[in-house]
Structure 1
Amino acid sequence: MWRSCNLRRCENWRATLSVARALVDTGAIVALINRADRFHPQTTAWFRGFRGRLLTTEAVVAETAYVLAASPEHQQAALTWVQRARAAAILQVAAMEDHAALARIIAKYADLPCDYADASLIWLGEKTGVLQIATIDQGDFSVYRVRGRRRFRILIGER
């Protein structure tokens, strides 16, 4: 296989593998947008320093808009960030056939509880193999597992 690909294509493939990737949770986006949030300074510093691709889900965007609904300016800023940020190119939407997996995840963590946005990130971690997550929700994401055994690596803090 390696012999059949040209050098340029192989180098691009290696470069793609070496790019850091991280899932992004609601709390991280809210803290980034809301300067009054106690996690704003460390979240802002993390986003400024991160070099790689961000992945999130439509459920996270919807939850972020809901959390920021009291401030139309913050809500608009979050949606603008999603449009402009690297996350915009890699916004994942669960297909109808993926909803059974989401329901399984929610049922598994019902005692926490695990909401739809969190379940969508667990699903995305399972789908992509990305275990790094920009979240301030250390409590829940330290319990969640991908494929039953792999832990998330929390990149920001706790709420």
Structure 2
Amino acid sequence: MTYILDTGPLVGAFRRARDKDAFTPWAAKLIRSLPYPLFTCDAVLTEAAHFLRSPAKLLEALNQGLLVSRFDTQAAASRLAELIAKYAGRRMDFADACLVCMSEQIRDCTIVTVDRGDFLTYRRHGRERIPLLLPD
């Protein structure tokens, strides 16, 4: 099983104790329990670095091979445009579109997210539900 991280859990896993939000304890505990490496995309890394105010810990995780970003945005550009157009009413962001594409490319995967509303709506390959790991 491959686990693909969305921004929320990634930020929660790296947040300092004083910056905690409702999902930080869930994300920190979950991330420690999943098999490495964990996968994501550059769009999620960019969002996470912004929210964390520093990419240092993310870069360290990448350098150690704990976190892997191997999504080819150029190759998926047409599919990304299709997804963003399809979910225009939900205002699908670029990172979410990349994660849906990744789930189409990696058959045996689960997306780890706190974004329940959007990811319960999104479908891969047209009508197939995306396996998700969500907080209770």
Query: TM-score with structure 2 length normalisation?
Result: 0.86
Partners of 1:132 and 1:79 in 2: CA distance: 23
Partners of 1:77 and 1:50 in 2: CA distance: 18
Alpha-carbon contact 2:73-2:98 (below 8 Å) kept: no
User: What's the Cα RMSD here?
Assistant: 1.9
Give ranges in structure 2 of 5+ residues lacking alignment: none
Alpha-carbon contact 2:11-2:48 (below 8 Å) kept: yes
2:10 paired with 1:29: yes
Higher Cα Rg, which structure: 1
Alpha-carbon contact 1:42-1:156 (below 8 Å) kept: no
Query: TM-score with structure 1 length normalisation?
Result: 0.74
Q: Any idea what the Cα deviations from partners look like across 1:14-71, whole Å, max 9, x if unmatched?
A: xxxxxx21111111111111231221111111111112542211111111112223xx
Partners of 1:78 and 1:94 in 2: CA distance: 19
Match of 1:87 in 2: 67
Give ranges in structure 1 of 5+ residues lacking alignment: 1-19
Partners of 2:49 and 2:23 in 1: CA distance: 18
Partners of 1:131 and 1:28 in 2: CA distance: 16
Match of 2:85 in 1: 107
* Aligned 1:1-159 pairs, distance under 5 A: 20-34=1-15, 35=17, 36-69=20-53, 72=54, 75-88=55-68, 91-157=69-135
Partners of 1:129 and 1:93 in 2: CA distance: 14
Stretch of structure 1 that moved more, 46-55 or 58-67: 46-55
Relative distance call for 1:131 and 1:149 in structure 2 (3 A) is: farther
Matched positions, count:
133
